Amino acid sequence: MQTGGKIIKDLQSAGGPILVVNRVTDVAYGEVVEILCGDGTTRRGSVLDISDKRAVIQVFEGAHGLSLRNTSVKFLGKTMDFTVSKELLGRVLDGTGQPLDGAPMPFGGETRSIYGSAINPVMRAYPEDVIETGVSVLDCMNTLVRGQKLPVFSGNGLPHNELAAQIARQARIRGTDEEFAVVFAAMGVKHDDADFFRNEFERTGALERATMFLNLASDPAEERLVTPRFALTLAEHLAFDCDMHVLVILSDMTNYCEALREMTSARGEVPSRKGYPGYLYSDLSEIYERCGRTRDSKGTITQLPVLTMPNDDITHPIPDLTGYITEGQIVLDRELHQKGVYPPINPLPSLSRIMKDAIGEGKTLADHPNVANQLYASYSRVGNIRALAAIVGADELTDADQRHLKFGDAFEAHFIGQASSERRTIEDTLALAWKLLGLLPTQALHRVSPEELKVNYKSISEFEEE
């Protein structure tokens, strides 16, 4: 790296976030640069495409205001890296890992490439420890497992931030009081959203075991492309070197993908679906797959990416490709939100792919899998009956159908719905589930075993809160 600090003045073109520099030698793919502007300010960037004649540079702050004649580019002779240490917990940083809280960067630590490397599949361990989030509809029906990546599919105006903050605050390994270290990466979020998280973490004292990386909506879009990588580099250090359990919240992945699209179209790359680059899947998997457990360390990384579905469309490339990499999804529902249900998680399209191996006898509760199946089946039937009732009128329905309607309303209000400060244990959640199932006739409960019915079922006609 003896070439660090080489300055080139020969700029060929500037446009959008892209700067093309001529006559470069000995510059690496992915190398970090400093752009020295005519007015004495500097910007940062990295090399996106390098040939023996020219380098294509992505400028984090955008190329706007640069002149081809007065600007020079300093190649720093290293690729983008980040010096990580445990001391970064409790700190607020910008999207490229620089302090925002006025304090200096901690001394020492290990310098890592932010791009990381793939975990060797034979070194992975299968996730199996249930995380109790205290949110009933998650814990019972879409259980989060330590080492899992479970995204929140949301829409504009839905309370995904409250939910993410609640999970960060309440998450515990079942049966322990062990708390998670939280690495929070904000990409292109609004100023007040970032403040919300910061205040939440400060108010609850969570900040001391959290690190925040903030790239706000007003910050350069190009910076968003590296923010999750900085965050995950720290998370990997905390988990695999310091044996900590880390919860990574990435919000909002849609902004990340938009920034990627912006960058690739500025470079004139061949677009794929909806203008996103063809490699969006691999790019996202490089982020999402930086999570899990390994055989040789105690720590884990659990990822909770948040993304807002453009126009609530779950088949949009961003949620679609995300769903193919992550182990399920939590889907927020506008209709539930409009009914005033918090958190408005719709259990029907939501899914946790690896919960089946983590719940049940000896892990959570013996009747957990069947109760989860039963709630899913019954609530799914409620949807059909509501559709029917809209046509023929509720009075025409059979008694069993009427009872399902009653169950559906109570299920939404009391099981899905809970206060944002409420933390329910899995035992509470399952007791509540059995109480709600009491609204249904036993003939409609096929997914639970007769023995389970005998022990837990008690028919009720109205649900009353205790």
Partner 1 sequence: MMSTEKAESVIIRINGPVVMADAMGYANLGDQVKVGHEGLTGEIISLENDVATIQVYENTIGIKPGEPVVTLGIPLSVTLGPGILKSIYDGIQRPLHKLEEQSGRFIGRGLTVSGIDVEAKWEFTPVAKVGDKVAALSVLGTIPETSLIVHKVMVPPNISGELVWVADAGEYAVTDVVAKIKTDAGEKEITIMQHWPIRTPRPAPKRLPPKIPMVTGQRVIDFLFPAARGGACAIPGGFGTGKTVTQHQLAKWSDVDIIVYVGCGERGNEMTQVLDEFPSLIDPHTNKPIMERTTLIANTSNMPVTAREASIYTGLTLAEYYRDMGYHVAMMADSSSRWAEALREISGRLEEMPAEEGYPAYLASRIGEVYERAGRVQITETNGDVREGSVTIIGAVSPPGGDFSEPVVTHTKRFVRTFWGLDRDLASARHFPSINWLTSYSEYDVSEWWEGRSDLSWKDLREEAMGILKEDDRLQNIVKLIGPDALPDRQRIILETARMIKEAFLQQSAFSDVDSYCPVEKQLAMMDVILYFHEQANKSLASGQTLHHVIGLEVVEDIYRMKEAIGQTEIEKFTELKNEIEEALGS
Provide the binding-site residues for partner 1, judged by CB under 8 A.
25-31, 48-52, 79, 113, 115-127, 147-148, 240, 269-273, 277-279, 281-282, 285-286, 288-290, 292, 294-297, 315, 320-321, 324-327, 351, 353-354, 357, 377
Q: Give CA–CA dist 339/411, Å, rounded.
A: 13
Least distance in angstroms from the C-beta of 323 to partner 1:
9
Of 381 and 414, nearer to partner 1 (C-beta) is: 381
Cβ closest to partner 1, residue 96 vs residue 326: 326
Residue 196's Cα: distance from chain center in Å?
17
What distance in Å separates the CA atoms of residue 329 and residue 142, rounded to the nearest whole number?
9
SS3 426: helix
Helix axes 399-410 and 426-437, enclosed angle (nearest 10): 150
Q: Smaller CB distance to partner 1: residue 329 or 418?
A: 329
Between the alpha carbon of residue 382 and those of residues 387, 412, 453, 460, the distances in Å are 9, 11, 20, 18
Q: How far is CA 151 from the centre of its chain?
A: 5
Dist. CA 165–CA 212, nearest whole Å = 13
In the 8-state DSSP scheme, what is residue 353? T
Q: Where are the beta strands (DSSP E) in 252-372?
A: 292-294, 300-308, 328-331, 351-352
CB of 145 to partner 1, least distance (A): 9
Indicate the residue among 37 and 119 with the shorter CB distance to partner 1.
119
Helix (H, G, I), strand (E, B) or coil at 346: coil
Cis peptide before 252 (omega within 30 of 0): yes
Q: Whole-number minimum distance, CB 111 to partner 1, in Å?
A: 13
Question: Across 140-291, where does the E strand assignment appear?
Answer: 144-145, 152-154, 172-173, 181-189, 210-216, 245-251
CB contact set of 194 (below 8 Å; sequence gap of 6+): 186, 214, 216
Shortest Å distance, C-beta 460 to partner 1: 27
Residue 327 vs 412, nearer CB to partner 1: 327
For the bound state, the minimum distance from the C-beta of residue 94 to partner 1, rounded and expressed in Å, comes to 22
Closest distance of CB 291 from partner 1, Å: 8
Nearer to partner 1, 219 or 327 (CB): 327
- Give least dist CB 326 to partner 1, A: 8
Task: Determine the straight-line distance between the first and last CA of the chain, rounded to whole angstroms.
Answer: 68
Q: How far is the CB of 376 from partner 1 (least distance, A)?
A: 9
Residue nearer to partner 1 on the CB measure, 118 or 392: 118
Rounded to a whole number of angstroms, the minimum distance from the CB of residue 294 to partner 1 is 5
Token readout for 267 is 């470079």
Nearer to partner 1 among residue 340 and residue 383 (C-beta): 383
- Comparison of 165 and 382: residue with beta carbon closer to partner 1: 382
Torsion of CA 242, 244, 247, 250, to 10 degrees: 0
Q: How far is the CB of 352 from partner 1 (least distance, A)?
A: 11
Q: Which residue, 322 or 364, has its beta carbon nearer to partner 1?
A: 322
153, 309 Cβ separation under 8 angstroms:
yes
